[in-house]
Amino acid sequence: MYSIFIGSLLLSLLHAVIPNHWLPVLAIGKKDNWSVSEVTQVTFISGLAHALSTIAIGIVLGLLGLQLANTIQHFTHFIAPSLLILLGIFFIYQHHRHKHFHLHNVPKPTLSKKKIVIALVIGMFLSPCMEIEAYFLLAGTKGIWAVLSIAALYLIISVSGMVLLVRLAYSGLLKLNWHSLEHKSGIITGWTLVITGIISFFIS
């Protein structure tokens, strides 16, 4: 169970750091002269929409994991960790094909602020974080309490992390190579999934 929480924690942190989750808000806010308060609010709302859609899918998968653990004897010890490893290999493969994840279209700045916010929220809600869904499935084998714990962990870290980073970046206190970080997110995600799956074979 510890491996599931650690893996979920790492992916939640990565999810918050990935710039294309909040960089569109920052870019639009800078261009349209939004205040740091406005940028923070829009980031919070769009990040919350993104996290909630991810959690909704995750809970469904968690319940599925609970049913499978009760009906398939080897699911917890073999099939679920194997799914993590296979998913991790997929993300590593995608990384080497130079695919990026969670790319959200930035609304054109000619739109009104209200329309921009609506577009961001809808776009974020309709693009849930699929990387972490495997952890919900695996958590379901431990019980509904584990699924809800992963959901709370993901929600708090993802949304608060995005809000903190966008505020720091807006103020010019945070300067990183965002393109490089975004490019490497796929392989970091992949190896996190693979390592968690391997550990789960031994301690599940």
What's the mean pLDDT in 173-189? 58
| Contact between residue 43 and residue 163 where contact means Cβ atoms under 8 Å apart | yes
In this prediction, residue 78 carries a pLDDT of 73
Average pLDDT of the segment spanning 87-116: 63
Mean pLDDT of 29-38: 87
Confidence bin at 98 (pLDDT 50/70/90): low
Rounded percentage of the chain residues whose pLDDT exceeds 70: 75
Higher pLDDT, 108 or 65: 65
Q: What is the largest CA-CA distance in the chain?
A: 58
CA distances from 76 to 26, 34, 40, 56, 66 (A): 42, 49, 41, 22, 9
pTM of the full structure? 0.75
Give tens-digit pLDDT for 106-160.
444 456 788 888 888 888 888 888 778 888 988 888 889 999 999 999 999 999 9
Query: Of residues 101 and 24, which shows the higher confidence score?
Result: 24
Mean pLDDT of 81-103: 66
Residues 10 and 1: their CA atoms lie apart, in Å, by: 14
What does the pLDDT look like over 50-63, one tens digit per residue? 999 999 999 999 99
For residue 104, pLDDT beyond 50:
no
Check: CB of residue 135 under 8 Å from CB of residue 150.
yes
Give the helix/strand (H/E) hosting 26. Answer: helix 23-31
Tell whether the model's pLDDT for residue 80 goes beyond 70.
no
Q: Which pLDDT does position 54 carry in this prediction?
A: 93
Asked which of 27-31, 117-121, 163-167 is least confident by mean pLDDT, the reply is 27-31
